């Protein structure tokens, strides 16, 4: 995979413009991709990366600009057109159908069929072959897709893209829901693809991944191309970040501030849920950040959701400042001062059709009401203040949450709990899909909250993040806490060892009972 000797680009996009009502998402973007390379697309949240690749995939029609594919100018009026040209796309939002089987999802739109009858076995074989290639022979092709974990679904999504024998595969943040091992698997497949001359456009906010897999880099900022075809391996990280954000970002974890107090705020004892996790106990003191490390599917989300009352425990207790919470009641947890930033922000946290400020004030709404009455914008100012502080972009808090980019949506969820003023904050993958700039802001925010005395539980699949932010780390494996230590006593390698010891065969699948 040395940089290919550019025999003329496979794809050239020139001056692409895409206007949404009220926002110019793309404002003259250029992109060149040559066969056999991994071309990385970088940019902050909302820079227009997903929009650009949707234009390329025929899902959006551009307002201006030209696309040259294999030397010929083309217009992709529909997803079929791009598909027929040999472009496959893994979208950022899962583009799968939960009610169909894994195999049916893989072949959707290209079903092997005879006289209109689907040849289920042929589809199964194809899916099985692709899943094996992706390192997941254990995912059964006949399983209903909705029953797979998010990571499993992401793998099916990749199988789907591979199924088409495309010349260019676009991957929009494929690694966001994957754990380190899965990412390595993905990279192996990408290397195989490029060795066969397939081009890959790779989008990720994890810069270390870019270094590892990328050949060339194009950077977008505010819908414009600010740098083209930088060498991925040699361009200094600081330069890339400056190009993306227009400023210098400290790409490191902020130092721990105040010493942790002794007051136990959150106390979890013997918490269990049949079939998911067993006998989990830990405490979090005021000002402390406790990290949960583990593989995808190890049960960390289930643990924090159960602590929060969103799932009813089969045994165990949760106490906040010594007071026992009613099991299985979110309102009780919220009243006790807990807040959860869930893993899947679109389906679990946001009201996509509602304005940003109403999303922010959702739990705290009563505070702005008199006897239940609420002016139309009673909560606007307070919410705007918080979103402004978090630099949510675009800054207009009246915009529907739907129109925000992924990272900004995450900030809206955090703003919600800031406004509410939590004493216990549960963060499940808080930086998933968040750009470097926002990421460091979120890190700083977590620190600041801790310094103000909040007890914080952090779930993250990025081990450096857990080590960098948490004061104490719990390692979760197959629904049990297998290790607990101050983060100072651990390093990345040690955590990975602990996490993967006797790796469960079906990491992508839920390890049910």
Ligand X SMILES: Nc1ncnc2c1ncn2[C@@H]1O[C@H](COP(=O)(O)OP(=O)(O)OP(=O)(O)O)[C@@H](O)[C@H]1O
Contact set for ligand X, span 420-459 (CB under 6 A): 429, 433, 435, 459
Interface characters, 78-97, with ligand X (x: CB under 6 A): --------------x-----
Q: How far is the CB of 258 from other proteins (least distance, A)?
A: 29
* Shorter beta-carbon distance to other proteins: residue 206 or 393: 393
Smallest separation (angstroms) from other proteins to the CB of 16: 18
Q: How far is the CB of 22 from other proteins (least distance, A)?
A: 4
CA distance 151 to 165: 23
Sheet hosting strand 472-477, strand order edge to edge:
338-341, 424-428, 455-459, 289-294, 472-477, 480-486
Out of ligand X, Mg ion, other proteins, none, which partner does residue 298 contact, by CB within 5 to 8 A per kind? ligand X
CB-based closest residue to Mg ion: 301
Q: Give the range of 69-77, 350-358, 397-405, 445-453 binding ligand X by CB under 6 A.
A: 397-405
CA distance 362 to 350: 10
Instruction: Choose the one of ligand X, other proteins, Mg ion, none that binds residue 362, judging by a C-beta under 5 to 8 angstroms depending on kind.
Output: other proteins
Closest-CA residue to 431 (of 387, 462, 398, 456)? 462
Alpha helices by DSSP H, 134-167: 150-162
266-295 binders of ligand X (CB under 6 A)? 294
* CA pair distance 80, 159, nearest whole angstrom: 18
Tokens of 431: 């930086």
Q: Which does 347 bind (CB under 5 to 8 A by kind): Mg ion, other proteins, ligand X, none?
A: other proteins
Query: How far is residue 452's CA from residue 472's CA, in Å, rounded to a whole number?
Result: 18
Residue 280 CB, nearest distance to other proteins (Å)? 17
Residue 403 lies near ligand X (rule: CB under 6 A): yes
Sign, CA torsion 491/492/497/500: positive
379 binds ligand X (CB under 6 A): no
The smaller minimum CB distance to other proteins, of residues 12 and 106, is found at: 106
Length of the chain: 513
**Distance (Å, whole) CA 239 – CA 41:** 15
x/- string (CB under 6 A) for ligand X, residues 19-58? -x--x-x-----------------x-xxxxxxx-------
C-alpha span between 404 and 394 (Å, rounded): 7
Q: Which is nearer to ligand X, 327 or 433 (by Cβ)?
A: 433
Residue 70 CB, nearest approach to Mg ion (Å): 26
Q: List C-alpha distances in Å: 44 to 27, 87, 92, 401.
A: 15, 24, 15, 17
Q: Which of residues 137-156 bind ligand X (CB under 6 A)?
A: 147, 149-150
Query: How many chain residues touch ligand X (CB under 6 A)?
Result: 36
CA pair distance 412, 384, nearest whole angstrom: 10
């Amino acid at each position: 995979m040395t940089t290919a000797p550019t025999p003329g680009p496979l794809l050239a996009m020139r001056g692409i413009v895409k206007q949404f009502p009220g926002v110019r998402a793309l404002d003259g973007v250029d992109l060149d991709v040559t066969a056999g390379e991994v071309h990385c697309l970088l940019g902050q949240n909302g820079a227009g990366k997903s929009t650009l690749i949707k234009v390329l995939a025929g899902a959006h029609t551009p307002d201006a600009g030209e696309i040259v594919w294999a030397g010929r100018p083309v217009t992709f009026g529909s997803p079929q057109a791009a598909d027929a040209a040999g472009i496959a796309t893994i979208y950022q939002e899962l583009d799968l159908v939960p009610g169909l089987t894994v195999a049916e999802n893989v072949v959707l739109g290209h079903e092997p069929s005879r006289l209109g009858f689907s040849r289920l076995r042929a589809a199964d074989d194809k899916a099985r072959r692709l899943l094996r290639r992706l390192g997941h022979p254990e995912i059964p092709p006949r399983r209903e897709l909705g029953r797979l974990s998010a990571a499993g679904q992401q793998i099916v999504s990749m199988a789907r893209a591979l199924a088409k024998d495309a010349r260019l595969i676009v991957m929009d943040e494929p690694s966001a829901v994957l754990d380190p091992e899965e990412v390595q698997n993905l990279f192996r497949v990408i290397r195989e693809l490029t060795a066969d001359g397939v081009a890959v456009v790779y989008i990720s906010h994890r810069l270390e991944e870019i270094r590892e897999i990328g050949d060339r880099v194009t950077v977008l900022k505010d819908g414009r191309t600010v740098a083209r075809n930088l060498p991925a391996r040699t361009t200094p990280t600081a330069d890339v970040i400056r190009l993306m954000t227009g400023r210098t970002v400290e790409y490191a974890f902020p130092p721990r501030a105040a010493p942790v107090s002794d007051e136990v705020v959150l106390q979890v004892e013997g918490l269990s849920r049949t079939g998911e996790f067993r006998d989990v106990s830990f405490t979090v003191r005021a000002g402390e950040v406790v990290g949960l490390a583990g593989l995808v599917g190890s049960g960390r989300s289930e643990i924090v959701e159960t602590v929060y009352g969103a799932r009813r425990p089969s045994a165990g207790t949760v106490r906040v400042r010594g007071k026992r919470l009613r099991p299985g009641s979110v309102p009780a947890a919220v009243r006790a001062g807990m807040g959860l930033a869930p893993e899947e922000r679109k389906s679990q946290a946001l009201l996509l059709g509602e304005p940003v400020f109403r999303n922010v004030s959702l739990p705290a709404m009563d505070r702005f009401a008199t006897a239940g009455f609420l002016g139309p914008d009673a909560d606007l100012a307070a919410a705007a203040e918080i979103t402004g502080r978090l630099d949510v972009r675009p800054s207009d808090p009246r915009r529907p949450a739907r129109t925000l980019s992924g990272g900004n949506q995450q900030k809206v969820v955090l703003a919600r709990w800031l406004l509410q003023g939590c004493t216990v904050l549960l963060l499940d993958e808080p930086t998933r899909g968040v750009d470097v700039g926002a990421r460091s802001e979120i890190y700083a925010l977590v620190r600041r909250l801790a310094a103000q005395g909040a007890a914080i539980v952090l779930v993250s699949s990025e081990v450096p993040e857990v080590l960098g932010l948490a004061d104490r780390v719990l390692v979760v494996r197959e629904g049990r806490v297998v290790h607990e230590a101050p983060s100072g006593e651990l390093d990345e390698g040690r955590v990975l060892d602990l996490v993967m010891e006797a790796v469960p065969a079906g990491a992508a699948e839920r390890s049910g009972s």
